[in-house]
Chains A and B, each alone.
Chain A
Amino acid sequence: MQVNKSLLASSTTMLVLKLLEKEDMYGYQMIEVLAKRSDNTFSLKAGTLYPILHGLEKQGMLSSYEGTTDSARVRKYYNLTSKGRRLLHEKQAEWNAYSDAVNKVLKRGGAGYAFS
C-alpha cells in the first residue's frame, strides 16, 4: 500500500530514530531495513534520508563514525545518542496520541463525514 507523502514526511524523523534504537546503521542499510519492516510501504529515497540524518547529527541526536563491515568498504555509521533517544520517545508519544485521536474520530463519525 502506498501512503500519502506528507504523512510520510512528518513521521520520517521518528522512523529514522526508531531504526537506530537497537543497532547502529549506515544510510543504505536503513532504507533497506525500513522497506523490509514495512512490507515496502516506506520506500525512503536517499535524497530525503541524508538531509534528515545530517540534520539530526548536527542537533546532537545522532553521532557518526566510520566503520567497516565484512566488505572492505568503509561506511558512515549512525548511532543514536541519549538525546536522540529522548526525542524518539517524545515523537512516539506524540504519534500515539495523534493516531489514537484519528482512530477515535474515524470510528465514531464515519469516514464520509470525517473527510467531507
Chain B
Amino acid sequence: MPSHESISAYINEVCNQVRWKRVRPVIAREIENHIDDQIQSYISSGMEPDEATEKALLQMGDPLEIGSALDRTHRPKPEWSMLILIAAALLIGLAIRMFVSPVNEFGQPLLPSSLLAVAIGVVCMTAVYFFDFSLIGKYPKLTQALIIFSALVTFVLSPRVKGAPLYLYYVVLLLPIAYAAFIYIQRKKGYWGIALSLIAAFVLSGIAFVGSLWSEALLVFLSCLIMLNIAIAKEWFCSKSALGLILTNLSALAGVLAVILTHIEYITRWFGSIGGYYLPNLVKALLRSSKLFGQGDPTLYNVLPFSYDERYLLAYLTHRFGWIAFFVIVTVLTAFIVRGFYLAFKKASILGLFISTAVLLTFTFQTIAYIICNLGFPILFAGTLPFITYGKTATVVNMALIGLMLSVFRTGALRFDNPYDSANSLSKKSHPLN
C-alpha cells in the first residue's frame, strides 16, 4: 500500500470510532501531523520512506484503541447546571401565571398562552441546541444579512404603537449575534478592523434607535462595545490591546455623547414619556412597605392594579410575598448569568466565546433594565424579565438564544473554528485563547 493511503486508512479507522462527527476533523488533523513528524524523524535517521511510514504507524498504536479512547473523551455533554436554572426560572414564571396573576386586565387567562409559549420555546431551544453553531463562523455574512434583513422587514411591516414598530424589540435581541459574526471576520485586521467594528456597533444599535427603542439601542450598543473590548483584549485584531482598548472606548464615548447632544430633545421627551415620576414613586412606596417575608401594606393596591402590569411584576411580587421573592428570582437569574459567563470564558472556542457573550449580554441587559426599573428608577425601559414576566414572543426568542449558547457549551473547550483553515489559527506568539 502506498504510504499516504496507509496513513489515511489509519486516520479513518481512528476517526470512525469517534461517534461525535464534529470532533473528527480536529482529531484527524492532529494525528496526521503527528504521523508526519514521526515519518520525517525516521527518514532523517536514514530510513526509506515506506519503511518509515510503516514504523511510524506501528509506533502510533492500535487505531481502534486510540479511537475508542478518544470517543470516551468526546461525548457532547449538556450543561445541566444551566438547564436546571432555566427550568427553575420558567417554573417560577408559570407559577406566577397560575397563582399570582392568572388573568390580564381584560380578564383573559394567561396560563394557556404561557404554556404554549414555553412549549414552542422548548422546541426552538432544542432545535437550536442541536444546530451547529460553527455555521455562523462559516457563513458570517449570511448570518448578519439575515438578522439585519429581518430587522428591516419588521421595521416596515410591524404594527406601530406610538410610532414605534411593535415587534422590532424581539429582533433587536438578535442584533448582538450579528455583531458576533461581524467581529469574527475582522480577525487580524488591526486598527482598521477595530474601527470597522466600532462603526458596526453604531450601525446595529442605530436600527433600534430609528425604531424609537432608545434604551434597547443603548443596550445593543453596550453589548457590542463589551464584545469589542473582549475581542481586543484577546488580541483578535492582532493589534496592541492597551492602545486599542483606550482608542475604542474613547471614540465610543465620543460617539455616544455626539448622539445624545444631537438628539437631546427626543431623549428628554422620551424620559418624560415613561410615566413621569408617578409610577416610579408608587413602586418606591410599594417597596418601602414590603417586608422580608409575607405581604406588605395591602391598601396600596387600591391605587393601581399592579398585578396586571407586567412591567412592574417584580415590585408587585416583592410587596405581595416579601423581599424573599425578589431575592429568589434575582438569585436564579444572576446564577444563570454568572455561570454562563464562567463557561463562556473557560470552555468556549473564540467563535463560541463571541456568540455566547452576545447571548449572555442580551440576557443580562434585559434583566438589569427590568430590575432597575422595578426598584423605582425608570432609567431604562423595562421590557421583559426573561422567563419570569408574561411575554410569548420574548419567551420564545430568549429560549432560542439560550439554545444557541448551550450548543456552544455542549462542545466544550475544543476549537471547532474551521480546523482545516490554517489562516484561522492563531500564531504561537500571541495565543489569545487563554
Contacts and interface: CB of A to CB of B under 8 A. Distances in A.
A32 B40 CA distance: 13
Contacts of A66: 415, 422, 424-426
A11 B364 CA distance: 44
A98 interface: no
Interface of A is mostly: mixed
B73 A27 contact: no
Interface stretch (A13-21, A48-56, A103-111): A48-56
A74 B414 contact: no
**Range, interface on chain B:** 35 or more
A64 B73 contact: no
A107 B347 CA distance: 47
Given A65-B425, A66-B422, A67-B427, A46 B433 contact: no
A46 B59 contact: yes
A91 B388 CA distance: 46
A28 B33 contact: yes
Interface stretch (B60-68, B114-122, B131-139, B325-333): B60-68
B433 A28 contact: no
A59 to B, nearest CB: 9
A47 B69 contact: yes
Contacts of B70: 50-51, 54
The contact size tier of chain A is: 20 to 34
Given A24-B428, A63-B434, A75 B33 contact: yes
Interface in B34-91: 34, 36-38, 41, 59-63, 65-66, 69-70, 72-74
Interface string B406-434: 00000011110000001011111101111
B30 interface: yes
Contacts of B72: 51
30 contacts: A27-B30, A27-B33, A28-B37, A28-B38, A32-B41, A46-B61, A46-B66, A47-B62, A47-B63, A47-B69, A50-B69, A51-B69, A54-B27, A54-B73, A57-B413, A58-B74, A58-B413, A58-B414, A63-B413, A63-B434, A64-B414, A65-B431, A65-B432, A65-B433, A66-B426, A67-B428, A69-B428, A74-B33, A74-B422, A77-B431
Across chains A and B, which 4 residue pairs bring their CB atoms closest together, nearest first?
A47-B61, A66-B425, A67-B428, A51-B69
